[in-house]
């Protein structure tokens, strides 16, 4: 029949394994979550760029149409110029041609600017598409692996839970409450081995009287310095 301390020590080794597995699950889940968010961000960026491109292309088409219209108008004005009869008509016609030419130049500049912007956006779209493809390829390989590992770890935890609960049930309620409290305060190490008269948690010397009490009666005693439960292996071990 194991003593309360031995049971507690065994319980702790299971709890530490549980903790390790739970942390591993959290790491995998955080990684999956990060991937999902990166993918969503990439898709959102692609959509935004695609919309911007669509808008720019529509505006570019409008300017192109306007340039064509103005060129036609310019041609009409030029041919009218060949048919003027008075000096006044000539001057007015020349002024119209000059105005048309300036307008076209300004529009063409705008057109060039839009063409450059469309080109820039298309470059960005290409980059994001590549990023997306890379992410999806990595996902294909790693998401499956991570999901399988998470499932396996959860199954392991489920399988070991019976053993853990049986051990926990065998420990006196008061002692277990103390164990749970120290465990949560001390980040997963509530029961420590005494090595050469020192606490295995904080390395402070444990009073010899406390050591004797533990060895003789199997009593639950805590380290006066760090409050962890002290476990002393019998000399025969």
- Do 229 and 8 contact (CB within 8 A), yes or no? yes
Rounded to a whole number of angstroms, the minimum distance from the CB of residue 202 to Zn ion is: 3
Other beta carbons within 10 Å of 199? 21
Q: Which stretch binds Zn ion (CB under 5 A): 16-24, 32-40, 148-156, 196-204?
A: 196-204
206 binds Zn ion (CB under 5 A): no
CB of 227 to Zn ion, least distance (A): 7
Nearest distance, CB of residue 198 and Zn ion, angstroms: 8
Q: Please report the sign of the dihedral spanned by the C-alpha atoms of residue 225, residue 229, residue 235, residue 237.
A: negative
Interface residue with Zn ion among 25, 167, 222, 226 (CB under 5 A) is 226
Of 129, 115, 159, nearest to 50 by C-alpha is: 129
CB 49 within 8 A of CB 128: yes
Min separation Cβ 6 and Zn ion, Å: 19
Smallest distance from the beta carbon of 172 to Zn ion, in angstroms? Answer: 22
Q: Determine if 225 is a binding residue for Zn ion (CB under 5 A).
A: yes
Classify residue 228 by its DSSP letter: P
Look up residue 147 and give its two tokens. 């999901």
Judged by beta carbon, residue 66 or residue 205, the one nearer Zn ion is 205
Q: Is residue 200 involved in binding Zn ion (CB under 5 A)?
A: no
| Whether 191 contacts 179, CB under 8 Å | yes
Which residues are 153's β-sheet partners? none
Is 195 a binding residue for Zn ion by CB under 5 A? The answer is no
Using CB under 5 A as the binding rule, whether residue 49 contacts Zn ion is answered as no
Task: Residue count of the chain, please give it.
Answer: 237
Asked if 192 and 175 touch (Cβ cutoff 8 Å), the reply is no
- In terms of phi and psi (left: phi > 0; alpha: psi -120 to 50; beta: otherwise), the region of 16 is alpha
Stretch that binds Zn ion, among 73-81, 129-137, 208-216, 225-233 (CB under 5 A): 225-233
Binding segment toward Zn ion, per CB under 5 A, in 38-46, 154-162, 177-185, 226-234 = 226-234
223 touches Zn ion by CB under 5 A: yes
Please give the size of the binding site for Zn ion, defined by CB under 5 A.
Answer: 6
Residues that bind Zn ion (CB under 5 A): 199, 201-202, 223, 225-226
């Amino acid at each position: 029949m194991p003593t309360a301390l031995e049971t507690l020590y065994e319980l702790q080794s299971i709890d530490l394994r549980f903790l390790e597995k739970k942390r591993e699950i959290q790491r995998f889940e955080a990684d999956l979550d990060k991937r999902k968010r990166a993918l969503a961000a990439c898709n959102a960026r692609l959509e935004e760029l695609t919309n911007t491109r669509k808008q720019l292309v529509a505006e570019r088409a409008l300017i192109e149409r306007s340039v064509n219209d103005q060129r036609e108008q310019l041609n009409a004005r030029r041919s009218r110029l060949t048919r003027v009869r008075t000096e006044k008509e000539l001057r007015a016609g020349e002024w119209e041609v000059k105005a048309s030419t300036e307008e076209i130049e300004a529009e063409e500049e705008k057109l060039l600017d839009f063409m450059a912007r469309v080109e820039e956006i298309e470059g960005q779209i290409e980059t994001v598409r590549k990023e997306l493809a890379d992410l999806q390829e990595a996902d294909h390989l790693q998401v499956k692996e991570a999901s399988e590992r998470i499932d396996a770890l959860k199954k392991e935890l489920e399988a070991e839970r019976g053993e853990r609960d049986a051990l926990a049930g065998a420990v006196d309620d008061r002692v277990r409450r103390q164990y749970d409290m120290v465990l949560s305060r001390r980040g997963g190490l509530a029961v420590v081995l005494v090595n050469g008269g020192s606490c295995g948690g904080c390395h402070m010397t444990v009073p010899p009287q406390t050591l004797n009490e533990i060895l003789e009666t199997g009593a639950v005693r805590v380290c006066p310095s760090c409050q962890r439960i002290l476990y002393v292996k019998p000399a025969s071990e």
